[in-house]
């Protein structure tokens, strides 16, 4: 593999978004920088694939002495000019989750890929040859998986699942015809609304749930909120739990936030309501999420809450404009055999059934199958090339503050 040598102060532009200076060793000594052209080419491809606003290289080339000083082997990929630790930023100026970066880097054929921190913001990437290393340094230094999509519970573009969401609005549904259409892999059904059990269960909830179960259509549920405080949202959650009791849901249970009077209360109150509802469901053993449209997600729910719970985003544009991570996109309306009139159409990018069933959530019994974190570590493929110490020194304070929440 061709490796180029650059002077320490050389700032030559290597590609549209990277120059040589970004990759120089951070030891402070004025020595040359080794850099493989293939690494730059792949980083440029990653930039385009993720629609980045920028990619910050936090650690590129390392001289052997510096590599050893930050916990490396003094002979790893960084010392060969074939590795970089990076933080990728979206068009909103916020870091893109390392989970997303790892999956896309896998698609692009990087040889070594690893999440570096518990914050899931920094990623190690290299262009090693001979074997592949897909790691998660929060779990140790070994190879953790052969497929990041499966490891992180995400769905690759070729495996997008298509579904619908329904309520009393669709009235009676012929679920046999829905199944036979071949267009519906999952359904999200309205369970009810408000904080009072009497007369607030969706008129077709029981019928829709039974239709999904009988016809083998995995389903989740959502609860339409009218809450104007965290206390009321908690009441809604408790009523929702009563309605869900005795049933199994392979998809999350969502807090449906869309009333104008709620947004008028401001971001802090809306965020507190989301957290109150979702945390109550979690404590009862459910996989909870938030349904909301792009504009209100980004302007009326804090980022920490949006990142804490799985998101079902409503956005009827040609592409979902939400800048954060989301598992399901409600993309518009269409017609499905067995349903009178239009129905909301959704795309799902996360393997929720596997996550939920293996964890024993939503009415399921916990699977005895080991999780990726528990699987064997292939020590022969786990060269510790990606010492995170160099990067961790820069972000330790940030990571410590949120580590507990992410575990």
Same domain, 347 and 232: yes
pLDDT at 389: 40
pLDDT at 402: 34
Same domain, 127 and 179: no
Encoded tokens for 98:
């390392």
Same domain, 164 and 290: yes
Same domain, 342 and 213: yes
Cα 233–203–190 angle (5° rounding)?
Answer: 45
**Position 366 in a domain:** no
Same domain, 164 and 257: yes
Cα 87–397–73 angle (5° rounding)?
Answer: 65
| Structural domains in the chain (count) | 2
CATH number of the domain encompassing residue 325? 3.20.20.80
Same domain, 129 and 209: no
Same domain, 298 and 394: no
pTM: 0.58
**Position 371 in a domain:** no
**Position 14 in a domain:** yes
Same domain, 341 and 232: yes
CATH number of the domain encompassing residue 389? 3.30.1380.10
pLDDT at 110: 93
**Position 227 in a domain:** yes
Same domain, 161 and 140: no
Q: Taking the alpha carbons of 389, 393, 394, 396 in that order, is the dihedral positive or negative? A: positive
pLDDT at 35: 96
**Position 334 in a domain:** yes
Question: What is the spatial distance between Cα 332 and Cα 397, in angstroms, rounded to a whole number?
Answer: 42
| Long-range contact set of residues 182-186: C-beta below 8 Å, sequence gap at least 24 | 183/336, 183/337, 184/217, 184/336, 185/161, 185/217, 185/218, 185/348, 186/161, 186/217, 186/218, 186/219, 186/220, 186/250, 186/251, 186/346, 186/348
Same domain, 15 and 49: yes
Domain range for 390 is 3-144+377-406
**Position 391 in a domain:** yes
The backbone region for 142, taken as left when phi is positive above 0, alpha when psi lies in -120 to 50, beta otherwise, is beta
**Which helix or strand (DSSP H or E) is residue 267 part of?**
helix 267-283
pLDDT at 392: 37
Question: What is the spatial distance between Cα 242 and Cα 74, in angstroms, rounded to a whole number?
Answer: 59
DSSP annotation string for 73-107: -SSSGGGGT-EEEEEEE-TTSSBPPHHHHHHHHHH
* pLDDT, averaged in runs of 10, over the chain (407 residues): 91 94 93 94 91 94 94 92 95 90 92 92 93 88 84 74 96 97 96 92 97 98 98 98 97 98 98 98 97 96 93 92 90 94 93 91 74 32 38 37 35
- pLDDT one-digit tens code per residue, 324-337: 889 999 999 999 99
**Position 364 in a domain:** no
**Position 237 in a domain:** yes
Q: In terms of C-beta density within 10 A (0-12 exposed, 13-18 middle, 19 or more buried), how is residue 59 classed?
A: buried
Same domain, 126 and 198: no
Question: What is the spatial distance between Cα 50 and Cα 246, in angstroms, rounded to a whole number?
Answer: 42
Same domain, 192 and 331: yes
Q: What is the CA radius of gyration of the chain?
A: 24
- Among the residues of 122-220, which ranges form H helices? 148-151, 175-180, 205-214
Of the candidates 274, 260, 286, 291, the one whose C-alpha atom is nearest the C-alpha of residue 167 is 291
């Amino acid at each position: 593999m061709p490796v180029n040598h650059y002077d320490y102060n050389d700032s030559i532009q290597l590609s549209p978004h990277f120059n040589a200076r970004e990759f120089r060793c951070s030891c402070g000594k004025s020595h040359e920088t080794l850099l493989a052209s293939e690494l730059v080419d792949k980083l440029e491809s990653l930039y385009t694939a993720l629609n980045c606003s920028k990619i910050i290289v936090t650690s590129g080339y390392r001289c052997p002495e510096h590599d050893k000083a930050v916990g490396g082997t003094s002979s790893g990929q960084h010392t060969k000019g074939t590795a970089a630790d990076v933080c990728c930023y979206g068009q909103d100026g916020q870091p893109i989750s390392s989970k997303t970066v790892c999956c896309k880097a896998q698609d692009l054929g990087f040889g070594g890929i690893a999440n570096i921190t518990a914050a899931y913001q920094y990623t190690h990437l290299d262009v090693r040859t001979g074997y592949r290393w897909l790691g998660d340094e929060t779990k140790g230094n070994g190879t953790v998986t052969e497929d990041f999509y499966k490891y992180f519970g995400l769905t690759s573009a070729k495996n997008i699942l298509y579904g619908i969401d329904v309520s009393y609005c669709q009235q009676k549904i012929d679920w046999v015809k829905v199944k036979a259409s071949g267009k519906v892999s999952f359904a999200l059904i309205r369970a009810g609304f408000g904080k009072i059990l009497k007369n607030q269960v969706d008129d077709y909830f029981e019928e829709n749930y039974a239709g999904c179960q009988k016809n083998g259509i995995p389903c989740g549920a959502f609860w339409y909120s009218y809450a104007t405080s965290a206390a009321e949202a908690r009441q809604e959650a408790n009523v929702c739990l009563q309605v869900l009791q005795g049933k199994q849901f392979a998809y999350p249970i969502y807090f449906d936030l869309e009333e104008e009077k709620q947004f008028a209360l401001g971001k802090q109150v809306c965020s507190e309501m989301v957290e109150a509802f979702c945390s109550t469901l979690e404590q009862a053993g459910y996989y909870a999420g938030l349904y909301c449209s792009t504009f209100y997600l980004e302007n009326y729910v804090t980022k920490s809450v949006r990142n804490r719970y799985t998101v079902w985003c409503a956005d009827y544009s040609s592409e979902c404009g939400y800048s954060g991570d989301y598992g399901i996109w409600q993309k518009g309306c269409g017609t499905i055999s067995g349903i009178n009139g239009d129905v909301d159409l959704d795309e799902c990018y996360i393997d929720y059934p596997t996550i939920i069933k293996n964890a024993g959530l939503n009415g399921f019994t916990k699977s005895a199958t080991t999780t990726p974190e528990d699987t064997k570590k292939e020590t022969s493929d786990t060269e510790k090339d990606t010492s995170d110490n160099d990067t961790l020194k820069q972000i330790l304070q940030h990571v410590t503050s949120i580590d507990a929440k992410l575990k």
